[in-house]
Amino acid sequence: MARDPIQRRSKEKKRKIIVAGMKLFSEKGFHKTGIVEIAEEAGVSVGSFYGYFLDKKDLLIQVSQAYGSNIIRGIYGRITEEAPLSGSSHEIVKYIVDSARQAHTLSTELHREMLALKNREPEMAKLDKSITCSFQTGVESILENCRDRIKIQDIRIASKLVTGAIEETMHSCFLEHSEEPKDRIFEELIEMCTGYLFKPTELN
Amino acid sequence: MARDPIQRRSKEKKRKIIVAGMKLFSEKGFHKTGIVEIAEEAGVSVGSFYGYFLDKKDLLIQVSQAYGSNIIRGIYGRITEEAPLSGSSHEIVKYIVDSARQAHTLSTELHREMLALKNREPEMAKLDKSITCSFQTGVESILENCRDRIKIQDIRIASKLVTGAIEETMHSCFLEHSEEPKDRIFEELIEMCTGYLFKPTELN
Amino acid sequence: MARDPIQRRSKEKKRKIIVAGMKLFSEKGFHKTGIVEIAEEAGVSVGSFYGYFLDKKDLLIQVSQAYGSNIIRGIYGRITEEAPLSGSSHEIVKYIVDSARQAHTLSTELHREMLALKNREPEMAKLDKSITCSFQTGVESILENCRDRIKIQDIRIASKLVTGAIEETMHSCFLEHSEEPKDRIFEELIEMCTGYLFKPTELN
Amino acid sequence: MARDPIQRRSKEKKRKIIVAGMKLFSEKGFHKTGIVEIAEEAGVSVGSFYGYFLDKKDLLIQVSQAYGSNIIRGIYGRITEEAPLSGSSHEIVKYIVDSARQAHTLSTELHREMLALKNREPEMAKLDKSITCSFQTGVESILENCRDRIKIQDIRIASKLVTGAIEETMHSCFLEHSEEPKDRIFEELIEMCTGYLFKPTELN
DNA sequence: CATGAATGAGAATTCATTCAT
DNA sequence: GATGAATGAATTCTCATTCAT
């Protein structure tokens, strides 16, 4: 019966467990990390663990949510507000790509693990979706805000496509270690997306 | 001591185990599938399993290899030869996207599981890479073959980008169940890639 | 991860397991005794077993140590202090032989098993050696204490020989069931040792 | 159904298996040696193994018998005939001790393993007994043959005692590696036994 | 509330023995 | 007779979860 931490001490303990989980899931993966280990890392007893979390999966979900909300709040959350809408289409797309880039620099290893589990655990999938979605929504509203310079009809689908392409490129750049220079790849990515989304600039 | 099957019967048995593994890993995931279960599904004794495979991970690798080589041989392998090079740029890209689509229709669930494990198991990652690579190489050579109609400079990087975008779209369409109509998405995908790769057609 | 029992309850549990091991190893031998059986006999879960012992071999070692220290402390340990040094040489040797006899009445079956394993398990051999050694040392110091009545030069080697002969006789009397009357054998044994160790008595 | 080898080829095969068993049991111990391994070492199929032996234990027994009869025939068997009865009592005992010494030089490791199992396997115990017995009987008849110089009354018991002491000393010298010089120990052993068995020489 | 020892179902793996070819 | 692949019971060990203190 996971209790809701009311006192400060409790909250602190729960936080410690989440941090420990984040660290260990990242380092060793979900399946290879044991509860005892997590408790030790958090400086907490096994019993306490079950005071705050239903089971190991529950911890994973909360760890991922913490990670996810970091990304969402920290980066995608502000994507709309700070977008350089007055800039060139190239600049706008570059801003979007850079945002994603920042998000993925955060904690590659944990992301890896989340990805590894989202296909089996519905909670995980939901979370992943909400992260992606928040990115997608951000892009959508940016595009909405410069609808007159936009070429494509269905902003929804276009956003999906573009964010998908960006995400994938991030993964292939950060999780696998491709030989191609990252910067060249990102440039091309921006090129592709700009060309797809925006009307050609007059004087180009 | 994994014996190497020489005789027909043995080969057949090994194949059965691989098929069983493919099925169960797809349905329940690697971690939730037990050896006994696999053996039962294959109509084989546990002892026999260990006659052909070192352990469960060994089976996973071989299952994935089987799956991978299916895709490679069956689809990406022939991508270059059968590409409609004389068709319009749109048709060419459509052909590429459709190939990917076929590959992913094959065994979505297993692919899911492979993806889930490639981040922890080096063997798995290698395999995934070789599949992706075979696709990428196919696209590269197609582009090579109509270089005069191609807009982009670096075919290598462009292929990577395009195959990445296509793969990602496939996954988001087949593994997650997006609400948007698949066909619309694929159309847009083709649009994006065509616009990026090819010079604009005269009479457009 | 064999926990070291600090609290009373834990110690009690560990003791129970050792007793169970002692019993079963004695009755059925090391190889034919399973962990589950041991746990059941001890009234403890399998998990608990692994809480206190690294594995079955670890239990064997600790069982043997317990048994060994019983013998050493209980019998050989006091051999020097209580030896009837003022008695006749025959009485002294009789005392030594009787001590050994007591030691071997204790737990013949387990001793059997220890013997059976000392040739393969270094830990076991070490233990056996330390038991024998403690006996030998005891004999040495007794002989030291009546050096003037002693015939042989090298007390060390003589002790080794004598304790060896005594041990062997014990084993052949207790482990195998010889037909000869034990008492006659022990008498002769005493005779042999006395004659070897001590100068002949004047009035004999 | 262990068949009795009639043809030469069969006999040869069986012999090979026994030799293989002897080697492997010596090297790795009974429990850690597998049937497949034995068959391979013997250059024979697993099926064939079961053509000649009922099970692994059966092989052990036969291996031990082969080993035992080697000792018996080769050494203890001839002990009586070749004893230097005309020599001094010291020479006679020395001859007995040397015989035992030879017997134990033969295959220390296998003997070790036999010892390790004789306490559990009745067949094994029987065999060990028959070896010991053959030694004991040999000693008995030697003593019988110089009864006039013998001090002790009961030759039977005295032989048992003496052979026991000799055996034990052999084991402690060959199986454990005592630091004391072997030759000194053997000299003392001879001393002890001579003193016990024989009347003191007049002119000594 | 906290603790961490206890639990025991479940998982992987081995290997003596059989038997179809 | 010979072969060696097949069998599956038996064994060891792990670890998420509970609960008495």
Domains of chain D from N-terminus onward: 8-54 (1.10.10.60), 69-197 (1.10.357.10)
Q: CB A160 to CB B120 under 8 A?
A: no
Q: Which nucleotides of E are covered by protein (CB under 7 A)?
A: 1-20
Query: Cβ within 7 Å of strand E: which of D 52-81?
Result: 55-56
Other CB atoms within a 10 A radius of the CB of residue D50 amount to 15
Distance between CA D167 and CA B26 in Å, rounded? Answer: 66
Non-local (6+) Cβ contacts of D79 within 8 A are D96, D99, D135, D138, D139, D142
Identity (one letter) of the amino acid at C107?
A: S
For residue D5, pLDDT over 60 is answered with: no
Non-local (6+) Cβ contacts of C28 within 8 A are none
Closest-lying nucleotide for A13 based on CA to C1'? E2
Interface residue ranges in chain A relative to chain B, Cβ cutoff 8 Å: 29, 31, 112-113, 115-117, 119-120, 125, 129, 152, 154, 156-158, 160-162, 164-165, 167-169, 172, 175-176, 178, 180, 184-185, 188-189, 191-193, 195-196
Q: Is C203 exposed, middle or buried (0-12, 13-18, 19+ CB in 10 A)?
A: exposed
Non-local (6+) Cβ contacts of A168 within 8 A are B164, B165, B167, B168
For residue A168, list chain B residues with Cβ-Cβ distance below 8 A.
Answer: 164-165, 167-168
Mean pLDDT, residues A183-202 taken together: 92
Least confident among B50-59, C12-21, C146-155, D106-115:
D106-115
Mean pLDDT, residues B171-185 taken together: 80
Given a contact cutoff of 8 angstroms between Cβ atoms, the answer to whether D99 and D79 are in contact is: yes
Closest-lying nucleotide for B49 based on CA to C1'? F6
Query: Does residue B37 or residue C79 have the better pLDDT?
Result: B37
Distance between CA A145 and CA A67 in Å, rounded? Answer: 29
Q: CB D178 to CB C157 under 8 A?
A: no
Does strand E come within 7 Å of the CB of B34? yes
- Which tens digits make up the pLDDT trace of B81-119? 888 999 999 999 999 999 998 888 777 777 777 777 777
- Which tens digits make up the pLDDT trace of C29-61? 889 899 999 999 999 999 999 999 999 999 999
Q: Classify B151 as helix, strand or coil.
A: coil
Query: Cβ within 7 Å of strand F: which of D 5-64?
Result: 6-7, 9-10, 13, 44-48, 50-51
For residue D167, list chain C residues with Cβ-Cβ distance below 8 A.
Answer: 168
CA C57 → C1' F13, Å?
13
Q: Is B122 exposed, middle or buried (0-12, 13-18, 19+ CB in 10 A)?
A: exposed
Confidence band of B130 (pLDDT split at 50, 70, 90)? confident
For residue B115, list chain A residues with Cβ-Cβ distance below 8 A.
Answer: 115-116, 119
Distance between CA A71 and CA D178 in Å, rounded? Answer: 71
Q: What is the DSSP letter of D3?
A: P
User: Looking at the DSSP assignment, which residues form a beta bridge with residue D198?
Assistant: D150
For residue C192, list chain D residues with Cβ-Cβ distance below 8 A.
Answer: 161-162, 165, 192-193, 196
* Joined tokens for residue D90: 């010291």
- Which tens digits make up the pLDDT trace of D84-119? 999 999 999 999 999 998 887 767 777 777 776 776
Closest-lying nucleotide for B52 based on CA to C1'? F5
Confidence band of B150 (pLDDT split at 50, 70, 90)? very high
pLDDT at A3: 55
Closest CA to A52 of A8, A15, A20: A15
pLDDT at D203: 54
Mean pLDDT, residues B176-188 taken together: 83
Least confident among A54-63, B133-142, D63-72:
D63-72
Dihedral over Cα of A142, A148, A152, A155: its sign: positive
